[in-house]
Amino acid sequence: APLGIAVVGTGKMGADHVRRLTTVIGGARVAAVADVDAERAKAVAGPIDGCTAHTDPAAAMAAPGVDAVLIAASGPAHEPALLEAFRRGLPVLCEKPLTPDPGGALRVLEAETRLGRRLVQVGFMRRYDAEYVRLKALLDEGGLGRPLFLHCRHRNASSPSFFTTEMLIRDSVVHEVDAARWLLGQELTAVQVLRPRPSSYAPEGLGDPQLVLFETAGGAVVDVEIFVNCGFGYEVRCEAVCERGTASTGAGTGPVVRSGGRWGGEVPQDFTVRFADAYDREVQAWVDATRQGRVEGPSTWDGYMAAVVCEAGVRAQRSGERVAVEAAVGRPGLYG
């Protein structure tokens, strides 16, 4: 039988995952959805056979036919939903960030450690992007030598109305934090943030863009331009500079069009388009592993460490100082 999934949160990402689970992914069905907005939950559940709509995540998880949970509600809603899934012993795919703050992430880490088995895959989808996977393989093969820099650019066409300056780090740069830890196989140890005068096109009060600099345990440096109101589209790039050469992702070379005396191509407008294939692979891998009783991919530990690094990033953002990254606990044995 297909894996019955409760989807918690039916906003932009949740609705996209429901579409994916229903029309792209094999071996899964959406059995229930929950959203704080009852009408939105009903609208998403309506067209799906046997799918019930709820406002309470716990009620969705308790609905008939639910075997697993996909959490795509906003960051602050993740911790209670994760703890509820743990109480029910349900495997979870939890969208990033695991929680916005390290305190919440630590409580989740401790609860999963007490269970003594992994239940969570964190939705760091870049690990499933074809170009990122090849970049990781290139770095691991070692032919390019030791990585010295990762130059990252992370641009959104515009930010949603609820976006705050902190979220540039906790919600956006969190992707580069995970990608850098994964690509380099190193922890990030310190962070600094440089802030130009905000773009006049950024919403009033939003410190956008920023340049975030990380040091790593192996002596590499990672710089991230985060610009969430760049206007022209969604662009994520990463260039690794190594001792014997460079490798980069995100050039976005679709068809190049020549017409009317100009040449050029199209820029995707948001992450649901740019990373559509990565999300498909991520969710299919989660469904396949779950049906076989396995839990793989980015773990609660990765989610916790990302939250710890982002906390240091927010302190650096506020103070202008270099802030050291300090985890409250070491990696529990459960996480290898």
Site residues (CB under 6 A) for ligand ISE, limited to 117-156: 156
User: Given the complex with ligand ISE, which of 90 and 228 has the nearer CB atom?
Assistant: 228
240's CB contacts (< 8 A; 6+ apart) are 135, 138, 139, 144, 147, 149, 150, 183, 246, 247, 248
Residue range at the interface with ligand ISE (CB under 6 A); choices 32-40, 42-50, 111-119, 169-177: 169-177
> Are 270 and 234 in contact, with CB atoms under 8 Å apart?
yes
Number of chain residues interacting with ligand ISE (CB under 6 A)? 6
Matching residue, tokens 């009033």: 204
> Which member of 81, 108, 222, 228 binds ligand ISE (CB under 6 A)?
228
User: Given the complex with ligand ISE, which of 4 and 97 has the nearer CB atom?
Assistant: 97
User: Given the complex with ligand ISE, which of 3 and 72 has the nearer CB atom?
Assistant: 72
> Which member of 158, 172, 210, 229 binds ligand ISE (CB under 6 A)?
172
Site residues (CB under 6 A) for ligand ISE, limited to 260-289: 271
Site string for ligand ISE, 174-193 (x = CB under 6 A): -x------------------
* CA distance to 265, 273, 308, per residue, from 256 (Å): 5, 18, 41
- Eight-state DSSP code of residue 196: P
Residue 73 touching ligand ISE (CB under 6 A) = no
Residue range at the interface with ligand ISE (CB under 6 A); choices 82-90, 132-140, 171-179, 302-310: 171-179
Q: Least distance (Å) from ligand ISE to the CB of residue 152?
A: 12
Amino acid found at 83: L
Residue 225 touching ligand ISE (CB under 6 A) = no
* CA distance to 188, 232, 284, 305, 335, per residue, from 325 (Å): 7, 34, 34, 9, 20
> Are 285 and 148 in contact, with CB atoms under 8 Å apart?
no
User: Given the complex with ligand ISE, which of 171 and 215 has the nearer CB atom?
Assistant: 171
User: Given the complex with ligand ISE, which of 275 and 301 has the nearer CB atom?
Assistant: 275
CB closest to ligand ISE, residue no = 172
Residue range at the interface with ligand ISE (CB under 6 A); choices 52-60, 168-176, 305-313, 327-335: 168-176
- DSSP letters, 122-144, are EE-GGGGSHHHHHHHHHHHH-TT
Tokens of 41: 């939950």
User: Given the complex with ligand ISE, which of 158 and 284 has the nearer CB atom?
Assistant: 158
Residue range at the interface with ligand ISE (CB under 6 A); choices 144-152, 167-175, 302-310, 317-325: 167-175
Tokens of 126: 């870049």
Q: Least distance (Å) from ligand ISE to the CB of residue 77?
A: 14
CA dihedral over 34, 39, 40, 41, signed as positive or negative:
positive
- Strands in 52-54's sheet, in edge-to-edge order, are 52-54, 28-34, 3-8, 68-71, 92-95, 120-123
82: phi > 0 → left, psi -120 to 50 → alpha, else beta; which?
A: alpha
Residue 170 touching ligand ISE (CB under 6 A) = no
Residue range at the interface with ligand ISE (CB under 6 A); choices 145-153, 170-178, 215-223, 297-305: 170-178
Rounded Cα distance, 46 and 3, in Å: 19
- Which parts of this chain interact with ligand ISE (CB under 6 A)? 156, 171-172, 175, 228, 271
